[in-house]
Amino acid sequence: MILNTELELKGNLFPTKIISYKKDVDTLYFTSENGVVLQITVQRDSIFRFRFTTTSIFENDFSYAITKYASRGFNQLDITENEKYYCIQTSKIICKVSKLDMRISLFDAVDNYLICEDELGFHWEESHENGGDIVKMSKMSQIGESYYGLGDKPVQNNLKGKRFENWVTDSYAYGRDTDPIYKAIPFYVGLHDKKAYGIFFDNTFRSFFDFCHERRNVTSFWAQGGEMNYYFMYGPNMVDVVANYTDLTGRPHQLPPLWALGYHQCKWSYYPESKVKEITNTFRELKIPCDAIYLDIDYMEGFRCFTWNKKYFPDPKRMVKELLDNGFKTIAIIDPGIKIDKDYSVFKEALDKDYFCKRADGPYMKGKVWPGECYFPDFTNPKVREWWAGLFKELIEDIGVKGVWNDMNEPAVMDVPGKTFPDDVRHDYDGNHCSHRKAHNIYGMQMARATYHGLKKFSYPKRPFVITRAAYAGTQRYTSTWTGDNVATWEHLSIANAQAQRMCMSGFSFVGSDIGGFAEQPNGELYARWIQLGIFHPFCRTHSSGDHGDQEPWAFGDNITDIVRKFIEIRYQLLPYLYTAFWRYATEGIPILKSLVLYDQADAHTHYRNDEFIFGEKILACPITEPNAKGRRMYVPEGNWYNFWDNSLIKGGNEVWVDADLDSMPIFVKEGAIIPKYPIQQYVGEKQIGELHLDVFFKFGQEKSQVYEDAEDGFDYKKGRFSLRNFNLLGKEDSLTIQQFRSGKFITSYETFEINLIGLPFEIRKVEVDNVKIDLSSSLKGNVLVISKEFTELHIIGKKTILI
Ligand code: MIG
């Protein structure tokens, strides 16, 4: 008999000295005397993968996180050895593997700088209880190193000094520092000496990260099973680290329809139909732009997925059409729990086809959720996903619902200790049969994936829209997400800010919080401040639980309504700007929100900043997160910035006080920026865009800007029918030149640009468009110039203003 004490005595095990080495194209295998094999795959010049087995045999190589589109290939691969190390070198990274103990150190190949080095390196403990190993890794923390990322953790930006757990959990009314919550994204970014790298620990078991919490100079991560399997990606720019991470784990498979970047209104629950109409009509009456209305669980018959409560919603198809005629896209919630009911077709079918999850010894996994006792589809089975996708036919194709909201997919189970399935539940895991210990963190992701495929199929030729609560790394390929059940408090407003930035840093940019707070009720001031932050989040939705009063933009009196309208209008004006940022995210993996550290990692002031962030490429925003504020102090990064409200110019690199009464907030625009704007619309597509407004912020010197547009929905853009404008601005004492380089086959509806010239240091004397002088009396009003959208070079010539 093995006694616990004996097991404990066994403790951590370590690889011993390397006795053999072999190379297979881009992959190297190092074997230790005690049978540990380290597999290093050179994925790209800047991405290495490290995998360990303690039994000489690797598990089947399968990952839900890594996309099949991940790029492979490198320019250079040199392998050398001396008596101490093997040395693997690409154009970006030098990796040394110690012959004595398999420890790894990673260097910048350009300047030989040490980026990341093992402390104990890989070690493990045998798991008597479950078989396999508890796999562990520890690395030295370099002097002054900071850490970022890790998904939705509700903590300050810099993770240093903290320990975290990844186990997807339904966390109603979580607070600052609650851990874990809804998402498991085991990816972090390290930064020291102005150089950033990333580590993605692709292991779906319950995992842990310790950033100098246990020991001041050590960072470690470990998991309760599976393989030590991680990717190291080098920057040195943080943006490139995140872009590399999304190259591996994927980017959204298509752009969202533009309306999905509009404002959304939600509540648990709007019913019956007359209530839904009252809400949507009020938006139109009060002229508050809104594109989407949500149906929470009460639209269903006894919470049965894919059914309708006919008392509340007698004719869903008609209602959905009427809402759409009024500009509202209907989004319906779908949960994973399927009510045990022999007269319910979805239940019967899944039972017949053997699609429900089972316990280790055979019984079904039974758990209580909203419908009462439920069984749960095993979304890790590809057949189940296909079946699930098919269930959306009626809802989407026939009834006309435009988006689906996946909730409770942690999976959440009521009235049980762990709030989820027990560990012994079995999963298909795409043929790699396993228990819930391994499948838990990806269950919600696979549900969202199946939902996405349903939406994609039945929305075609329009784009799908899905929102999920639970997620693992890679979920950003299929869906948007929100931060779960937050609370209507000031603290939660700043948590929402941190979470959205963190999710963007973690490769998942299509994110937002329940504006105003889900639990409890905000007062008007808090709601207004939250809207101000929310319009800068890629996903922008007010949501609240039913039992705490109203939370519509007009629920707090006229003054607040006016403020809310004003900010939502700004969102709608900035849609082409946000869409361009989304396009960059979807194509290049550039986060839509950039924490200041991601924006300027060389400036040490940014390393511990939390509140300020860059929205897209050029706009700096900073929410007010305290009551009774007339303004706030904030850090403005290096460079010159125009105040959004009055176009005054300030110099960055300092903390400054910014006035911001309740109807304002600190917003700045980077000098040299060209910001595209659409007219205010009540919903996307309400108006045909008659001209594109461009705010041009003068700068001495050069700056580049982009504007991406397409049909705002559909897939033609993938066949080249998009319009991309690359602008090159050059400002001098007495002239401003803007060049435009166009690509794509999409013809925009407008013919002209309305160019608003801001901050010109001279009076305009002459304007040339493609070398032809234009008549100023007809085309220039004040500082606004109207010219053809086709120009390639705009040359504005001034008289020097004489400064007295
Ligand atoms: O147990 O569907 O986070 O957004 O309104 C609560 C009702 C279930 C939790 C979600 C929330 C949603 C609510 N759901």
Per-residue pLDDT reduced to its tens digit, 706-746: 999 999 999 999 999 999 999 999 999 999 999 999 999 99
Cβ of residue 469 lying under 6 Å from some atom of ligand 1: yes
Q: What is the predicted pLDDT for the residue at 799?
A: 81
pLDDT category, 5, cuts 50, 70, 90? low
Residue 179 CA to ligand 1 centre (angstroms):
19
- pLDDT score of 183 more than 70: yes
Q: What is the predicted pLDDT for the residue at 1?
A: 47
Cβ of residue 268 lying under 6 Å from some atom of ligand 1: yes
Q: What is the predicted pLDDT for the residue at 803?
A: 57
- Spatial neighbors of 690 by CB under 8 A, at least 6 apart, are 679, 749, 750
Cβ of residue 407 lying under 6 Å from some atom of ligand 1: yes
Cβ of residue 410 lying under 6 Å from some atom of ligand 1: no
Residue 470 CA to ligand 1 centre (angstroms):
12
Cβ of residue 617 lying under 6 Å from some atom of ligand 1: no
Beta bridge partners, 200, equal: 187, 231
3-state DSSP assignment of residue 702: strand
Beta bridge partners, 725, equal: 707, 742
pLDDT category, 6, cuts 50, 70, 90? low
Residue 252 and residue 510 in contact, taking contact as beta carbons nearer than 8 Å: yes
- Taking each helix axis as running N to C, give the angle between helix 524-534 and helix 490-505, from 0 to 180 degrees, rounded to the nearest 10: 10
Task: Report how far apart the first and last C-alpha atoms of the chain are (Å, whole number).
Answer: 94
Strand boundaries in 275-430, DSSP class E: 292-295, 329-334, 338-339, 367-369, 372-375, 403-406, 426-427
- pLDDT score of 668 more than 50: yes
Cβ of residue 259 lying under 6 Å from some atom of ligand 1: no
pLDDT category, 556, cuts 50, 70, 90? very high
Kindly report, residue by residue over 490-538, the tens digit of the pLDDT. 999 999 999 999 999 999 999 999 999 999 999 999 999 999 999 999 9
Averaged pLDDT of the chain: 97
- Taking each helix axis as running N to C, give the angle between helix 273-286 and helix 316-325, from 0 to 180 degrees, rounded to the nearest 10: 0
- pLDDT score of 356 more than 50: yes
Positions marked active-site = 407, 410, 485
Structure tokens given for 400: 């006309």
Residue 530 and residue 564 in contact, taking contact as beta carbons nearer than 8 Å: no
Residue 252 CA to ligand 1 centre (angstroms):
25
**Backbone conformation region of residue 631, classed left if phi is above 0, alpha if psi is from -120 to 50, else beta:** left
Q: What is the predicted pLDDT for the residue at 9?
A: 56
Query: Which residue out of 334, 485, 514 has the highest number of ligand 1 atoms within 8 Å of its CB and is therefore the one to mutate?
Result: 485
Give the position, in ligand 1's atom list, of the atom nearest the Cα of 268: 5
* CA pair distance 77, 712, nearest whole angstrom: 43
Strand 514-515 vs strand 540-542: parallel, antiparallel, or unpaired?
parallel
Q: Please, what sign has the CA dihedral across residues 304, 310, 311, 317?
A: positive
pLDDT category, 412, cuts 50, 70, 90? very high
Residue 183 CA to ligand 1 centre (angstroms):
16
Cβ of residue 292 lying under 6 Å from some atom of ligand 1: no
From the number of C-beta atoms within 10 Å of its C-beta (0-12, 13-18, 19+), residue 286 rates as: middle
For ligand 1, atom 6: residue with the closest CA: 408
Q: What is the predicted pLDDT for the residue at 801?
A: 58
For ligand 1, atom 12: residue with the closest CA: 268
Residue 780 and residue 798 in contact, taking contact as beta carbons nearer than 8 Å: no
pLDDT category, 395, cuts 50, 70, 90? very high
Residue 517 CA to ligand 1 centre (angstroms):
12
